[in-house]
Structure 1
Amino acid sequence: MQNKRLKTLDRSKSHLWIVGGGIAGMAAAAFAIRDAKVPAEHIHILEELNVSGGSMDGGHNPLNPNQAWVTRGGRMLTDETYLCTWDLFSSIPSLENPDISVREECREFNEQIKTNAQARLIDSNHIVAEAQKLGLSTLNRAQMLRLLALKEDRIGSRRIDEFFDDTFFQSNFWRMWRTTFAFQKWHSAAELRRYFLRFIQELPRIHTLAGVKRTKYNQYDSMIHPLQRWLVEQGVDVRFGSYVTDADFVEDAQTKERKATQLYVNIPEGTEQIQLGEHDLALFTLGSITADSRYGDKFDVPELIRDRQDHGWRLWETLAQKAPDFGRPMTFYGNIDEHKWKSFTLTMHDDVLLKRIIDYTGNEPGTGALMTWFESGWHLSVVVPAQPHFADLPEGKFTLWGYGFEIDHIGDYIKKPMSEATGQEILIELIHQLGFDDILDHVLAHTDITTVMMPYASALFACRKAGDRPLVIPENAVNFAFLGQFVELEDDVVFTVEYSVRCAMIAIYQLLGVEREIPEIYNGLLDPKVGLNALEAVFH
């Protein structure tokens, strides 16, 4: 894509102050070193937590660190759409073999472990449905075409269910699309349209998820850990326990150029102010889908936080008051009940459950992608990844991850909402949904379960209108940019690693005048073969 370069700063004198140590901030640091040739020791990452990666986590259960592992969510990748991500990780040595990149490791892994789900949808009688039959009516197809034909300014802040009738939401297509990409029918129709365009190549294989690519281990071990190690080796200054509470901006009365001039930072020792020099940049990560996450284990229930206790949203709230084009964060955090999730990770201390799942589905670990019980009260889905899914998982232990999509509904076997269920109760519900009642007692005795309540997990799909998300580089900004899942990138889709990496690339390339093209956003409709395959699929 065309790279709009702004007035070039002196990169040798520039200091980059990156607010937030998630994948967007880390990617910005990497691009600044690799492509803008900024001295690594001039790059400073301010991160509130004691670990990098933000929402891309994976590790020990903080409540039971010796016996249980956890990821709050999973990441699915594709070759076609994650072009900026692959560009970044082609330069980062992998976790275990410094002679190959993360990108090369991922490619080799997916050549060995190919996704081809055989049990994508399962009904209430434990029968695997014929998921390849998408079940779309002529009216449903017309409704999809109507949405695709509209421009976003015409769609505005309307919901998905304003464009489709009830039969669409009972189709196999919707059952798979919603759980693959985490859509609810009250989410943004504009975002669904973007997903249709961005992932149209996946439509013919949505029942097998054969286009999905995964990392060797979880997202932290395979992507964040190697990237963090590389940044530190280059000399990047990573400051944990530091979070920015406010920033000052000035506008030139004649040129209208806007500059960030000062950061206000809370640090373990107290507070400090950071003055930005003539050639310095400030990059602000906005919002967080894992803010106020709370963990539970086998016998307790994680709390649902409603009053924004941590600082994942506060900085954006503060900055938004300084200029009308800095976005409207309340659009996204304002309705917790529409966006909360509860996920769970099983740590199995033997292979009894794992072997039964393999026999039941016909999929070895890592090849099955999502399994969804589409008639279950909690609308449960699980993924059995390739084992081990954690780099430090001891031999003889295994993990799987799952989540509920209707956590305020009553379970089929546990007669309470999933939001009120303990880890053990969720495990009991899952075993009954699988129809494995005969091994229930054994599984309960040999499995630890970690649950996570996330108030804002799908907040990035909130119905929005123009201006709710700020531009990566606001108009007339010369030394600051916004990063993360809550900025506006035309045509790209949120809830992807690619979105965060792309916005970081745009910020660094434009602010620092990098003369290198940014990869185009993939559009499968430009390929006649992709379009034809998608058309055949919706008529199947």
Structure 2
Amino acid sequence: MPVEQTPHVADREAHVVGGGIAGLAAAAFLIRDGNVPGENVHVYEKLDIVGGAMDGAGDPEEGYVIRGGRMFNFPAYECTWDLFRTIPALEDDSISVKEEMNRFNAKHPSYAEARLIEDGTHLDASQFQLETRHRISLVRLLLTPEERLGDTRIEEWFGDDFFETNFWYVWATIFAFQPWHSVAEVRRYMYRFLHEFPRLHTMEGIDRTKYNQYDSMILPLRRWLEDRGVDFQYDCRVTDMDIVTSRAGRTVERLHCETDGGTERIGVEPTDMVFFTNGSMTDGSDLGAWDEAPETNETGASWELWRSIAADNPGFGDPEVFAGNVQETKWESFTVTLHNTDLFDHIVEFTDEEPGNGLVTYVDSSWLMSTVVAAQPHFANQPDDVKIFWGYALFPDREGDYVEKKMSECTGREILEELCYHLQCADRLPEILEGVDCVPCMMPFITAHFQPRTSGDRPAVVPDSSRNLAFLGQYADLPRDVVFTVEYSVRTAMTAVYELLDLDREIPPVSKHYRKPGVLADAVSASFE
């Protein structure tokens, strides 16, 4: 029997379904590390823009929009920095994106002065308020193997009073955990970021980009890929895949797409590669306006495609675990553009936080609102006399403390009225909101990756039976790393490319900071504050 020959990379096509950071990183690794010609790489994106959750759009006239902001941690983002050390910055291509970030963070270090505020009072967030029983539960969690946790929820592991501690308010609003989320994911986060325990309340370990992540990271990465001939197909929704099963395994033979021109079938050779971002945290998101509330959608294109292929292919995961309960996976953000900077200036004065310092959470807010005032400008096209800030709330279906409506039913104006109540400036509403715009955004799946899960609910990056299909992003399974991070998406991309190309290259290991005696000692000490 003749031996099957591995084709040269120049003869292999790569089909990347989804233009978020995972798909873009896969394209970059294919070219940079796999020597696949750029013109052989095809990226299919349902929107007219790439970047996924790493977004940022708008202008000073129509207003700016950031659905969410990604935070970075230098020692814990090994694959991300491996990539962006080799991508030239957009404004100065003599330095890398990573070097631009290094310089920016040296100039604008994070240090939260008022991490938690209640009734106008700055709480001492360094006092975690953990009791002995809370610390015992945390230690027990660290010592319990993940496979024994199963689909246990956080609220099933800790007592009710744990969720009223400063520690929980700080933890939950940095990482967006809810009591009903997976305690196994909390365990992973504790191991991954144990070195940050003593300074969670100051956020000193957080690195940020010069502008929003779209301008600072996605645009330079897209330019790098375009310069190498990558084929971007926008407004192209992949609706299904023809997957054939044989003794050799399962092979994608065809992609089905919907475009403005109609339906299209794209043939895939057995030696070609398909990379699919199964599920998206910003899928189905909807924007409201100053006088309009956003809608709450129940599904999205990436989830529908995952459902389609998982139904007939055991081992491809269970999307319903993550996308089957929007009430538990949604929250709402809002972006504020200010031509009149009175509100912006008031926030800076009220919180004692200079722009760029950190996240402020209003713990007495029934919505549990938080705001971030980034270093200005936060957009490359933002004029000096225009300011922006961003905020979000974890409980959008609760009635407000000032506005007697659920946040999910509120317009942009009403959300700002509620915020002004907590900023103790509601008596100045007409004047302080003149020349201000607020765009709310409902994201039905923004924390879907934290849903309680068991082994097999997330497919392996390259399932055992797969010959040419790899999964990317937050809903592919990686041991030890943490979801809701750019690092997780980039690591899945590197893993997928190296495995499908059979590259003899080492993937940067997940750092084990928790094994350092000093880190452990400092974390224990912080838990007694």
TM-score category, normalised to shorter length: over 0.9
Residue deviations 1:51-98 (CA, integer Å, cap 9, x gap): 00111110118xxx8331010001100001111111111111112111
Aligned residue pair count? 525
* Percentage of pairs with the same residue: 47
> 1:479 and 2:468 equivalent?
yes
Offset at 1:528?
Answer: 1.3
Contact 1:316 1:329 in 2 (8 A): yes
Offset at 1:278?
Answer: 4.2
Q: Residue 347 of structure 1: which of 333, 337, 340 is its match?
A: 337
> 1:191 and 2:185 equivalent?
yes
> 1:513 and 2:502 equivalent?
yes
> 1:294 and 2:280 equivalent?
no
Equivalent residue, structure 1, for 2:253: 261
Equivalent residue, structure 1, for 2:526: 537
Q: Residue 106 of structure 1: which of 71, 90, 101 is its match?
A: 101
Contact 2:116 2:363 in 1 (8 A): yes
SS in 2 for 1:144: helix
TM-score (normalizing by structure 1): 0.95
Offset at 1:252?
Answer: 3.2
Q: 1: CA distance between counterparts of 2:426 and 2:196?
A: 35
Q: 1: CA distance between counterparts of 2:443 and 2:348?
A: 30
> 1:305 and 2:297 equivalent?
yes
Q: What one-letter code is carried by the residue in structure 2 that aligns with 1:293?
A: S
Contact 2:284 2:443 in 1 (8 A): yes
Contact 1:9 1:512 in 2 (8 A): no
Contact 1:8 1:512 in 2 (8 A): no
Q: 2: CA distance between counterparts of 1:350 and 1:83?
A: 41
Equivalent residue, structure 2, for 1:216: 210
Residue deviations 1:347-366 (CA, integer Å, cap 9, x gap): 01133222222222332100
Q: Residue 246 of structure 2: which of 230, 252, 260 is its match?
A: 252
Q: What one-letter code is carried by the residue in structure 2 that aligns with 1:321?
A: A
Equivalent residue, structure 1, for 2:515: 526
Q: 2: CA distance between counterparts of 1:322 and 1:483?
A: 19
Offset at 1:274?
Answer: 1.7
> 1:91 and 2:83 equivalent?
no
Offset at 1:527?
Answer: 1.3
Offset at 1:183?
Answer: 0.2
Residue deviations 1:429-448 (CA, integer Å, cap 9, x gap): 11110112354322211210
SS in 1 for 2:51: coil
Equivalent residue, structure 1, for 2:271: 279
SS in 1 for 2:302: coil
Offset at 1:397?
Answer: 0.4
> 1:361 and 2:359 equivalent?
no
Stretches of structure 1 that go unaligned for 5 or more consecutive residues are 1-6
Q: Residue 77 of structure 1: which of 60, 72, 81 is its match?
A: 72
How do 1:225-236 and structure 2 match up within 5 A?
225-236=219-230
Offset at 1:9?
Answer: 4.6
SS in 2 for 1:225: helix
Q: 2: CA distance between counterparts of 1:9 and 1:475?
A: 21
In angstroms, what is the RMSD of aligned CA positions? Answer: 1.4
Equivalent residue, structure 2, for 1:426: 415
Residue deviations 1:169-205 (CA, integer Å, cap 9, x gap): 1110001000000000000111111111111111100
Q: 2: CA distance between counterparts of 1:411 and 1:104?
A: 43
Q: Residue 138 of structure 2: which of 144, 155, 158 is its match?
A: 144
> 1:491 and 2:480 equivalent?
yes
Equivalent residue, structure 2, for 1:13: 11
SS in 1 for 2:29: helix
Q: Residue 270 of structure 1: which of 251, 257, 262 is its match?
A: 262
SS in 2 for 1:449: strand
Offset at 1:233?
Answer: 0.8
Equivalent residue, structure 2, for 1:175: 169
Offset at 1:524?
Answer: 1.7
Q: Residue 437 of structure 1: which of 426, 434, 457 is its match?
A: 426
Q: 2: CA distance between counterparts of 1:188 and 1:8?
A: 42
Q: 2: CA distance between counterparts of 1:143 and 1:114?
A: 33
Equivalent residue, structure 2, for 1:411: 400
Contact 2:252 2:270 in 1 (8 A): no
Q: 1: CA distance between counterparts of 2:23 and 2:263?
A: 22
Offset at 1:535?
Answer: 0.9
Equivalent residue, structure 2, for 1:159: 153
Q: 2: CA distance between counterparts of 1:40 and 1:502?
A: 21
> 1:117 and 2:106 equivalent?
no
> 1:25 and 2:23 equivalent?
yes
Contact 1:409 1:418 in 2 (8 A): yes
Q: What one-letter code is carried by the residue in structure 2 that aligns with 1:41?
A: E
SS in 1 for 2:301: coil
Q: 2: CA distance between counterparts of 1:277 and 1:8?
A: 13
Residue deviations 1:370-423 (CA, integer Å, cap 9, x gap): 100112111110000010111111220010000111111111111111111111
Q: What one-letter code is carried by the residue in structure 1 that aligns with 2:32?
A: R
Offset at 1:484?
Answer: 1.2
Q: 1: CA distance between counterparts of 2:524 and 2:230?
A: 48
Q: 1: CA distance between counterparts of 2:489 and 2:305?
A: 18
Q: What one-letter code is carried by the residue in structure 1 that aligns with 2:182?
A: S
Q: 2: CA distance between counterparts of 1:331 and 1:251?
A: 25
Q: 1: CA distance between counterparts of 2:293 and 2:237?
A: 29
Equivalent residue, structure 1, for 2:326: 336
TM-score (normalizing by structure 2): 0.97
Equivalent residue, structure 2, for 1:449: 438
Structure 1 ranges of 4+ moved more than 6 A: none
SS in 1 for 2:9: coil
SS in 1 for 2:74: coil
Contact 2:340 2:434 in 1 (8 A): no
Offset at 1:8?
Answer: 5.5
